[in-house]
Amino acid sequence: MATGSRSRGERPYHIIVFGASGFTGRFVLEEVARAASAGLGGTLRWAIAGRNRGRLERVLHQAAQDLSKPELRSVEIIVADVAQPESLEIMCKQGVVVLNCVGPYRFYGEPVVKACIDNGAHYIDICGEPQFLEGVQLKYHSKAQEEGVYVIGSCGFDSIPADMGMLYTRSQFKGTLTAVESFLTVSTGPEGGCGHDATWQSAIFGFADSTSLRSLRKKFGHKPLPVVGAAIKKRGSLFYSKEIEQYSIPFMGSDPSVVRRTQRYLHQEHQQSPVQYAAYVCIGGAFSVLKTLFAGLMFWLMTKFSIGRSVLIQFPEIFSFGVFSKAGPSKKQMEGTSFCLSFFGEGYSDGWDPSQGKPDAAITTQIKGPEPGYVATPITMVQAAITLLNEPQFLPNMGGVYTPGSAFARTTLIDRLNKHGVQFCLMNAQKT
């Protein structure tokens, strides 16, 4: 197994799962265990880390029981705490890649990023917080390049499907792809579905501090990306999608931010024409529309005040109408949940000039997968790490802060995901 630059192969572990006793971290731990059992072309050495040894031991024992892998009880445990920089340094010196599962990242992420860069460990997280992701790029990109360290954020459901899905759609289009809209649908079984409280908290603080994100983006000094071909469709804040036959609203997660960063990187570094992108989530019929509008308005108002934020944090299940809870989804809920991310693209076929007239070609692709938050996310995170370990020669430069699409554009990550239950497929491509 390749391990990247700077003699990282001498380190005792290829992967360290930091925050393995957290809700999501437990599922990432299990996915790493599956990857280790699969061999992956070599012996995968790994450990788990967190601030409480007792909790980590219990999580290992539970995973050993659930996966019927008694050998997991002997997996190495590293005690590390974001509040103790020296413990993070010790952890990072032992791993080639650190998988950071400790959020919300706006509060706990930066010390881990800094420790990884200072101690030569690559960093991967599952952050869906644009302010943290873009702030890390602004502050640490040059330093990470100097140290030969890759810092790759948003490697969970936010935002590998959207970012890699855009690259896949472009690769399948015969000509110049100029605009793509994505529509997310999540299906649940009779048990329903929900997300964990940590994701809910990230959304609360992100909305409350949205002005800081606008201020941060000004510091980059980026010029607007050129618009190639016809401008992307303008949609309202609520509309009926004929493509999906459901009411839809703009997707409020990190996908648009991450995809735009990737498109900018590909345009600036590889002279690829940027693709316009808009992301939406389908919410169903008329009753779902009313419920979403009411919940959205209440959420927006309450995030503006500290007492409102406190109430939202204290009662996630009530104010999200059951979409989030402190307990998170049950095993049955996860088994009955799946997602479909549909991409509808348009552009100009070979030989057509994008500056002349309307697009003459269209394409539809899809990504289908299991429950997004705690089944698909561990898969995408772990496969991103495996790709980094095995294909460092296909990553950009010698390090830096990157989006998944920027980092993995030339790798086999999509093929790896296809083999692990996150399926990319071409639905149709035609002249319009």
Burial of 156 (0-12, 13-18, 19+ CB in 10 A): buried
pLDDT level of residue 158 (50, 70, 90 thresholds): very high
Give the chain's largest Cα–Cα span. Answer: 65
Report angle CA 18, 22, 25 to the nearest 5 degrees.
Answer: 55
What does the pLDDT look like over 226-283, one tens digit per residue?
999 999 999 999 999 998 999 999 998 899 999 999 999 999 999 999 999 999 999 9
Q: Looking at the predicted structure, is the pLDDT value of residue 51 above 50?
A: yes
Q: Looking at the predicted structure, is the pLDDT value of residue 342 above 80?
A: yes
**DSSP 3-state assignment of 359?**
coil
- Strands, E assignment, 153-293: 175-187, 195-196, 239-241, 246-250, 276-284
Q: Structural domains in the chain? A: 8-156+376-408 (3.40.50.720), 160-373+421-431 (3.30.360)
pLDDT level of residue 42 (50, 70, 90 thresholds): low
Q: How far does Cα 166 stand from its chain's mean position? A: 14
State the number of CA atoms in the 13 A half-sphere of 217 facing the CB.
Answer: 13
**DSSP 3-state assignment of 417?**
helix
- Name the β-bridge partners of 348: 176
Return the closest-CA partner of residue 152 out of 401, 406, 377.
401
Ramachandran angles phi, psi of 182, nearest 5°: -115, 145
Q: Looking at the predicted structure, is the pLDDT value of residue 5 above 60?
A: no
| Predicted pLDDT at 372 | 95
- Over residues 68-89, the mean pLDDT reads 97
User: DSSP letters of 283-338?
Assistant: EESHHHHHHHHHHHHHHHHHTTSHHHHHHHHH-HHHHTTTSEESS---HHHHHT-E
- The contacts of residue 112 (CB under 8 Å, 6+ apart) are 18, 82, 88, 98, 100, 102, 123
- Strands, E assignment, 26-153: 46-50, 76-79, 95-100, 122-125, 150-152
- Strands, E assignment, 10-79: 13-18, 46-50, 76-79
Q: How far does Cα 235 stand from its chain's mean position? A: 25
> C-alpha dihedral over 380, 385, 387, 391, to 10 degrees?
160
Sheet containing 338-349, strands listed edge to edge, beginning at the edge strand earlier in sequence: 239-241, 246-250, 276-284, 175-187, 338-349, 361-370, 423-431
Do residues 106 and 136 touch, judged by C-beta distance below 8 A?
A: no
What does the pLDDT look like over 277-332, one tens digit per residue?
999 999 988 778 887 788 778 877 888 888 988 988 888 888 887 788 888 889 89
